[in-house]
Chain A
Amino acid sequence: MLLSFLRFFQSDARHFQIVSQTIFVCIGVMFLRWDYSFIAILLTFGTALSIQLLGIYLLKLPLHSIKSALITAFGLTLLFKSNEPMLYALAAAIAIVQKFIFKIRGQHLFNPANVGIIAVILFTKNAWISPAQWGNSTALIFVIGTAGLAVLSRVKRIDTGLIFIATLFALEYYRTIVFLGWNWEVLLHKLSSGSIWLFALFMITDPMTIPTNRLVRIIWTMAVAFTSFYLTNFHFVTGAPLWVLVCFTPLTPLLNKFFPSKTFNWIHSTQKQFNHDTKIAY
């Protein structure tokens, strides 16, 4: 019984992701004392799941694509803030519906939660993100890091998460310590933000919306990190990575077309397996 559950649990990387995200929301609500509204959480999950179920029924999608909608709902709960509970529903609706609309060769263009958040912030001006809500606790980063690695090792996207962090670290190191002359504490403070780690390990790494070719993916990730760094430090944009990601994900189908995945064999095979899985999923 337990063994079969474990086998089932390991059969899909999304299970790890869902469990991690559940833990993060609980940490935020119970230990970091976030301002949240229970109604808003209900609306987020309710909207995301019911639209996905509708999609499953009308578009004949597989039932287990419901897990992807669940992940999107978690993503919104973790990042999105508004005083209006209905805007949570709107963000969830945009996130899920756009998946059915903006599709090229069976792949959607945007990271669902990402585009839901940005669209509502942009169009309603009544929502925001709080990049500092996770604080700078090393314990938390450890939790996010462990969970992130567990998920990413299953989808073979550890490279993306780590390259994002490493690029950001290199750029911030150069600017903060070498150029500006601040001490190490300032750098560590910047890079110990829980939001950055969550973004690096749980958002940018969504295998559906990033290039499949390894080299291209690495360059693409570095470009996201560089642009985020630039917007944060020189244009003082709050939550820059989210804005950058929403602009960069539509490039993915184009990059996949010109640089199809054919590098290392082991990546190729897992890739094939993964694509097979996720195509069914979405």
Chain B
Amino acid sequence: MTQRLLIKAAALLVLLSSVNAYSFCGFYVAKADATLFNNKSEIILVRDGTRTSITMSNDFKGDVRDFAMVVPVPVVLQEGDIKVVDRRIFETLDAYSSPRLVEYYDTNPCYQVVELDEANWSAQVTSTDAGVRMKYDMVEEKFNVTIEAEYTVGEYDIALLSAKESTGLKNYLIQEGYKIPATAESVLEPYIKSNMKFFVVKVNLDNQKNSGFDYLRPIQINFDHPKFMLPIRLGMANSTGEQDMIVYAFTKTGRVECTNYRTVKVPTDRNIPLYTKDIFGEFYKNLFTRAYSREGKNAVMLEYAWNVTPSWGGMKCDPCVGNPPIYNDFAEAGVWWAGWNSASPVFFTRLHVRYSNAKFPADLTFQITPNTENFQARYILTHPAGGPFDCDESQDYLESLRARRKVEVDELYALAGIKPNDRSDNYINEFVSYMINKPMDSMLKGEVIPGENSPMDASEIEVDEAYIHSDMEPNEAFLQNDNPEKKNKPWEVPLFLGSIVGLALFVTRKRTKE
């Protein structure tokens, strides 16, 4: 069973990662003319006070000789501030914080069955000798670019540049063999003027060969600066469409939120049909598109927020989709305060940003809030009770089951634009044969044999693309199926405010008239 779930989880991850089109907070620049696609960008962002650690992962698939990356950073990094980390930390964090499916089982009203609650899926030293000095001076004179430092860390050759103007920087990078996007110059300029340095990375082929890894490992940088931001604009220099970035943020106090774009939760705790089990990846992909379109395509989406302090015994997820990160994982992720005997809390926020040139004109800036409210993107499958349905209560149950399933199907459309089809009709009417008073509208559909509802295949899905890319409000079912435990009922607020304002105006009417 566990193995099957693992396979499912793995399939889900692959699916999720293959459907997105991505870039990076810096930009990739090719050394040869190979067209480069950076499929997924994932960032681990650790922050406490003014200290920041950023780990950047890429799934670069081309020839490593073509790999190059430019990231603006606020300070000149020392060699000890840069390291390469294992790719697996991203997999761990992703698996742990991914949107999840949870399954519940109805109990037969005639026979009390034990309730199950199944959770699833779910370095060399900078040379200072004369020759190098001369090269530095030449670069400085010719391009107005200062090479602040050069290091080799793991399989990467890294240079930290500061520049006085963007043309020099561009020309220098071109001379070094980087292929710079035509529009890059105008984007480089503001970073130069903000006194930012450029962290320029290419692959050291010898070290890469010796490292034994057949992929490029993530790079982690640490620095101390009050600026708390991610420079996404550079990444848009060589891209037109939408790019996805997942940010795994860790703080001591609480959630990280964006201070120049809205941070909005993805819809959660929704009931969806059983047959979506095998298309969960596809479902979530569409749900995300829908949710972010509904927010006007310029919001940062919150997918997960939880206290994950390793020494804290409380529940860290419900259900957990992966193993919770442990001390080693935190060390690898750059969460420097999460040591074995550290009492400091660790709060994990997962943000999903889908940015495009038009909708995200400025770099992302963040703040740490003391908001420790937990959040997870969670979708619910509810299995029907097993038969036989031979008591009076069971008729009510079947009625409610059918009504619930109708809402689930509507919800699937409202959330992810997946259109109802024959399959969903069969799903709604699956237990009609047990009902004494058969509903009128099911008569026309013909008999459905209970239990013959196989999981839906991804190829069967028909998505209403126009709907999921629009910002229109969803249909009524969406609101109907709202989680009853949810504490907020938005109509309460206008009602309350209206009455209190009315009351205040009423009692003061005479005095103000005078």
The answer to whether A and B belong to the same complex is yes
Q: Which residues of A contact B (CB under 8 A)?
A: 8, 11-12, 15, 18-19, 22, 25-26, 29-30, 32-33, 35-38, 41-42, 45, 49, 62-64, 66-67, 70, 81-83, 125-128, 130-137, 179-183, 185-186, 188-190, 193, 235-236, 238
Residues of chain B within 8 A (CB-CB) of A182 are 190, 362
A235–B494 alpha-carbon span in the complex (Å): 38
Cross-chain pairs A/B with CB under 8 angstroms, 14 sampled: A8-B509, A8-B512, A29-B493, A42-B496, A49-B504, A63-B507, A64-B508, A67-B504, A67-B505, A83-B371, A135-B295, A135-B299, A182-B362, A186-B361
B198 to chain A, nearest CB (A): 16
Given contacts A83-B372, A180-B190, A189-B260, contact A235 B299 (CB under 8 A): no
Q: Which residues of B from 378 to 394 have beta carbons under 8 Å from A?
A: none
Residue from B226, B369, B500 in contact with A45 in the complex, judged by beta carbons closer than 8 Å? B500
Given contacts A125-B370, A132-B261, A188-B361, contact A64 B497 (CB under 8 A): no
Closest 10 A-B residue pairs measured CB to CB? A185-B361, A64-B508, A180-B190, A181-B189, A128-B369, A238-B367, A64-B511, A135-B262, A180-B193, A29-B493
Question: B480 at interface (Cβ–Cβ under 8 A)?
Answer: no
Question: B263 at interface (Cβ–Cβ under 8 A)?
Answer: yes
Per DSSP, chain B at the interface is: mixed
Given contacts A236-B227, A236-B228, contact A81 B371 (CB under 8 A): yes
Question: B126 at interface (Cβ–Cβ under 8 A)?
Answer: no
B345-374 near A? 1/0 per residue, CB < 8 Å: 000000000000000011001010111110
Task: Check if B504 sits within 8 Å of A66, measured CB to CB.
Answer: yes
Task: Check if A63 sits within 8 Å of B299, measured CB to CB.
Answer: no
Q: Which residues of B contact A (CB under 8 A)?
A: 186, 189-190, 193-194, 226-228, 253, 257-265, 295-296, 298-299, 361-362, 365, 367, 369-373, 487-490, 492-494, 496-498, 500-501, 504-505, 507-509, 511-513
A18–B503 alpha-carbon span in the complex (Å): 12
Residue from A36, A66, A83, A236 in contact with B493 in the complex, judged by beta carbons closer than 8 Å? A36
Task: Check if B370 sits within 8 Å of A189, measured CB to CB.
Answer: no
Task: Check if A83 sits within 8 Å of B370, measured CB to CB.
Answer: yes
A59–B260 alpha-carbon span in the complex (Å): 43
A194 to chain B, nearest CB (A): 10
Residues of chain A within 8 A (CB-CB) of B226 are 235-236
B76 to chain A, nearest CB (A): 19
Task: Check if A183 sits within 8 Å of B361, measured CB to CB.
Answer: yes
Given contacts A18-B501, A132-B262, contact A8 B371 (CB under 8 A): no
Residues of chain A within 8 A (CB-CB) of B512 are 8, 11-12, 64
Given contacts A41-B493, A132-B263, contact A22 B371 (CB under 8 A): no
A62–B508 alpha-carbon span in the complex (Å): 9
Task: Check if A132 sits within 8 Å of B498, measured CB to CB.
Answer: no
Residues of chain A within 8 A (CB-CB) of B504 are 18, 49, 66-67, 70
A263–B492 alpha-carbon span in the complex (Å): 47
A83–B487 alpha-carbon span in the complex (Å): 14
Residues of chain A within 8 A (CB-CB) of B295 are 135
Smallest CB gap from A29: residue in B:
B493
Task: Check if A181 sits within 8 Å of B193, measured CB to CB.
Answer: yes
Task: Check if B488 sits within 8 Å of A38, measured CB to CB.
Answer: yes
Other than the given A130-B259, A132-B259, 7 more pairs (CB < 8 A) read: A41-B496, A42-B496, A82-B370, A131-B259, A180-B193, A183-B361, A186-B361
A64–B510 alpha-carbon span in the complex (Å): 9
Smallest CB gap from A121: residue in B:
B370
A83–B372 alpha-carbon span in the complex (Å): 7
Task: Check if B492 sits within 8 Å of A30, measured CB to CB.
Answer: no
Task: Check if A238 sits within 8 Å of B259, measured CB to CB.
Answer: yes
Smallest CB gap from A177: residue in B:
B190
Smallest CB gap from A22: residue in B:
B497
Task: Check if A128 sits within 8 Å of B501, measured CB to CB.
Answer: no
Task: Check if B361 sits within 8 Å of A63, measured CB to CB.
Answer: no
Residues of chain A within 8 A (CB-CB) of B264 are 33
Task: Check if B493 sits within 8 Å of A25, measured CB to CB.
Answer: yes
A127–B370 alpha-carbon span in the complex (Å): 6
A59 to chain B, nearest CB (A): 16
Residue from B362, B488, B492, B508 in contact with A67 in the complex, judged by beta carbons closer than 8 Å? B508
Given contacts A135-B262, A185-B361, contact A25 B497 (CB under 8 A): yes
A30–B507 alpha-carbon span in the complex (Å): 28
Task: Check if B507 sits within 8 Å of A190, measured CB to CB.
Answer: no
Given contacts A63-B507, A235-B226, contact A38 B190 (CB under 8 A): no
Smallest CB gap from B253: residue in A:
A125
Task: Check if B487 sits within 8 Å of A128, measured CB to CB.
Answer: no
Residues of chain B within 8 A (CB-CB) of A19 are 501
Task: Check if B298 sits within 8 Å of A135, measured CB to CB.
Answer: yes
Residues of chain B within 8 A (CB-CB) of A32 are 262
A135–B258 alpha-carbon span in the complex (Å): 11
